[in-house]
Structure formats: C-alpha cells, structure tokens
Structure 1
C-alpha cells in the first residue's frame, strides 16, 4: 500500500502565495493543486496573519522543533483515542473545515479513519478531491448575475423558474448553492437578509431624512461578483454619495475583510475621512478590522436595514453600469486582466463618462468643483 501524501508546510506556503497574488480564482487553484477551496482560504489567512511575525523583534527566526519532540507530541495525540468522547465534545466547537484540516495522512499512531472519528469528520469528505465549478455552472452563474441586475428581488425560487423558462434544466438546490457562492441575496423584506458574522456588532441606518450636500459627507461601500472565464472574483468599491465618484476599489479571489480595509485605507489617505460611512450588514463590513478603522478615524458608521437595497442604491446602480459596460464585454482569464479592465473603466467613469444626476458632468469634475467651492474654514472643519 503506497504512502499517502501529506501537505507539507512548503506546499501550503506555495498555494497560499498563489492565492495572495490574486491572479487565479480559488476554483482554479483548487483544481490545479488538488485541495479544497476552503483550505486555500485558510492557508491564505494563516499566511497573512503570520507575516507580521517575520518583522517582530528584528526578524528573529522561529525556534526549531526537534523531531523527538514532534514524535512525543504525536504520541500524546494518540493517547487522546482513550478519551474519544471528551475529545469529540471539544472538536464540536471547531468548524468542520478546520477539523478536516487537522487530519494527518501519515500520523504514526492513528489511522485516517480513527482521526476522522475523533474529529467527527466524515471520512468520505476527507478523501473528496475538488473539481472546481464546471463550465455549465459558470455559464449559469453568468445568467443569474445578468438577471439579478434586472430583478434583484428574485430569490432562489423565482430565479429557478426564470432559468427553466429559458430552457435550462436546473433545480432549486443548484441555484441556491450558486447564488450563495456569488454572494447574491434577494432584496425583498425578510428576516436576516444580510447576516453579519457571530459576535459582530451592527449599526443603525443614519441616512434616512439626511440631506447630503457636499463631498465627503457620506461614503458608501459594497461588494459585487465578477464572472471570469474560469471561476470568479470579488470587487469592493467605495463611492462618494454626493458626487457618485468612486474613491477606491480592490479585487480579491477570497471574500474576506482584508481587501475591504485596504480600499478603505486608500480612500481615507487620498481624500480624508468622511462624516458617515454606509454599508450593508455583511460580515466584511461588521468585522472588527473594518469597524475599528472607521472608529479610529472618527467616522460614524451607518448600515442598511435588512432587505433594504434602496438604502445603498447609488452603488447598486454602479454595479449595474460597470457590468453592462465593461465586465460582460470581456472574458478575463487572470486577476491582472480583471484589474486592468476595471481600472480602465473606473478612470472612464470618474473622469469622462457623463452622469445624468450630475447634469451630464463626470463625477470627478463635480467632486473637484464642489470641493474647491467650499470655503477654507469649512474644509478645515470637515477635516477636523
């Protein structure tokens, strides 16, 4: 019987670095390296969290662990089999993906079946090799995205009926999975339309009845899905509410808070902090990293009500315009191609594209003129 391969730290670092580059989608990386997409997300997260340790205390190297110590540790792990019940109770506190990653193929004392039993992970799920999304599913995701821009109130059932009427043999189970994968949620009133992560604080909506009369009074932020030739990416953008100007944006192959914070840092650095930042109640915007950055900058936090897409309508219209004028006209294969395409369109949108609500002027022109028209003492008061 051949020895089963175990993921070495070097292999994990290689995959995490590829994910960090953002050139390939997670589906592509999972298919290329033969690992589960969730593991790629975890390794990328671990790489980002551990990178700061390289520069701590003069870049001191991590202590080397002796092989005898490793064997002793494995022996202690083997003793846990005696306490199967108690260990199983502890394992339940961890997510299934985390427990799956704890299984070692070459453990000296416990077989894979025993480890799966201890960690309460189905053995079949451990042996599963991800194949990535099929071309058919990617085509369905493209159709769903196009239709969702026209009818954002379509839930799983309505979207399934729509695709069936277009002669696509689909069921609700597949459409539900694909819409969750794309991060699409219908906008009709219902409980928990946009769910923050457990323990994340949500904030009230502050824009109701507020007259927005100047730049940097209110910013808004949102995330959308970008279809690629193989897989998909995510785009976050920050917009000035008064002038509709896109202040910053970022693209990522994983749906975490880091790229949102990067876009926020750039916008604050270039234009100064706004009075209010409005977003939905997604886990990226309710995360500590994002809300703490806003609070430290003295920015008041506003969040849409559940199911209230109109609360952030301007950036929703931006997504529609971007996709019909740019994204759907191309079939990008790499992250660099997507970034170059979005960058070109964003420059066009800000500086040359006429905007109806702005009297036919581009957003960047209105932003500059409005900011220059303000009195110096007003500008200083806003900055303060």
Structure 2
C-alpha cells in the first residue's frame, strides 16, 4: 500500500480535528485512528505545527525555502573553494591556456564535476578548453622569415612581418613572433618610455610639418674610420614625409660644406619653407644664414639643450647609427658613402616606418615614377 502524503494545510486541519475531539472528552488513540494516522505521527506533527495559523504556516514555508537556498549557496561556495584549491598548483605556474586546461582536467578527475561547472569556476571558456589547434606546415614561411632576417639584420619581427605581407604572405605579427622565437632570432628589447621632466605645455612650441617641403631638419652625426680618423655626416630629412633627402659624408664640414651638400638637394626637390637645425656653429654662421634668406628659406633654431625639438632628425640619426655605423667598419670615406647610399635607398623605399602605418616613406613604385 502506497504511503499517503499530506500537505501542510492537510496536517494543520487534522491537528485541529484531533484537538476538537480531545476537547470533547475523547482519547488520543481514538482521535488518531479516526483521522487515519498513528499516535507517533500526531505527536511529531504537534511538535512541529502546534499552535500555528495559516499565516504562520506560510511564514514557516518561506523560512524553510530561504534556508534551503542558503544551504545550497554555502555548498556551492565550498565546492568552488575546493575546485580553486585543486587548481592552485597549475595556476601558480602561469595563467596560460595549457596550464588552465590541465587544471580543468585535474579537478574533473578528482572531484567528478561537470566540465561546465569546472570551467566556470576556474575562469576558462569551454570553447577554449575543447579547442584543438591545427598546426600548418610553416616551412616555406620559416625560410622566408630567415631570408629576410639575414638580409635586414637590424630589423625586429614587426618590420619583418610587414615585409612578409608585402611579399604576399597572409600572416599576423603574433605568428611571426612565434617563429622568430623558435628560430632563436634576437627580439628587440622593450624599453620603458622615459617621462619628460617637464609638462608638455611648458616646452618650446614646435612648428609642426603640414605638407611635403614644409620643414626640413638637418643635423650632424660623428663617426670614425678604421684608422681612427674622424668624419662627419650631414643628414637632411623631410619632416612631413619622413624621407631622408641626403646623407653627406666628409672629413670636415663647415658652413660652406653644408651649403655645398644642400645645393643639389634643393635643385632636385625644390626649396623648403623652413629648415630646422640646432645651434651648431656651422648652422648659425652668418654666411649660411644670409644665403638661406636670399633663396627664401626661413631658418628655425631649436632651444639650446633641447634635442627633442629636432626629434624627427634625432630619431633618423639613431637609426643610421644603429643599422649602419655600429654594424659596419669603414676604411675610407668613399666606402662609407657607398654603403650609406645603398642603405639610404632601402630606408626610403623598403623599410617600414611605424609612424607611417608600417609604410616606407617613398615606396619603390613612387620612387620609380619620380625618377
């Protein structure tokens, strides 16, 4: 015989019925028998529901429901705590995808939990956990990467990635970086950006380039030959296009030699509106300044001791020294001119420039049209 189940309202009504029977002079056993329950059940019900009304019964049911929810929450938190404790050893090794995947596998094996619950607690998407990588055959790409790295030894993986895309490869910089590391190639060091010692608004207000031939910047780079003899390099840069217009090398260079180096560039490119320079004696000489005024070029001299005011040229000079002067050992000035001239064409037409959206200042197609 199936056991009969009573609702809370039924229990409350039966208790009232038995209480009325007892008040009329009946005994407990007779009242319970007429209600269809045992005496033990009657006493259990009276202990739990005795003296309650309908509103109190509803309040009790709400408290019981709330208590069950609290117990569930506590159990969930304890389970989460246990999951995190089991996965702590893998997370301590690093929050990589491989370590998180191993943590999920370990927790499921030990606690027998579902994948959904384990991934949610550890903080890993199920799609990431179930993802199976498909390794492609990267041998041809790897060979192209090594070839470009040998050809452009001072480039980092980002510039090499751009050159690969120019050659027709569909590849992002992250894959190039992975192959770069696997081949043991040197990665460019990441330097923390140095903060200026002054507020940006308190520096000298610098005139910004707005179009080609608006502002040229000139500066010197000093170096020595293999026999110890010094020589100077005059660098000329168009600040708007970032094109290096000239790198002239001579044993000595005063204001007359500066004019001699600038004259063919002016004939080929036309006159700029401004020429920016530091306060070196070659640039502040009366003869040089007079000649600039006569040809209609306005000079801009930076504030003394503030090389950042000529930042475009300073950056170019650093690249020239890093990629050529520190990498080559010249025996004669003619040899230096040849190597620097070849590098200059590569800088203008091939080398990706970060400020130009990884595009060279003068792509080869444009340079061929211009010539």
TM-score range, shorter chain: 0.3 to 0.5
- With structure 2 as the length reference, what TM-score do the two structures score? 0.42
Larger Rg: 2
Q: Which has the higher contact order (CA 8 A, sep 6+)?
A: 1
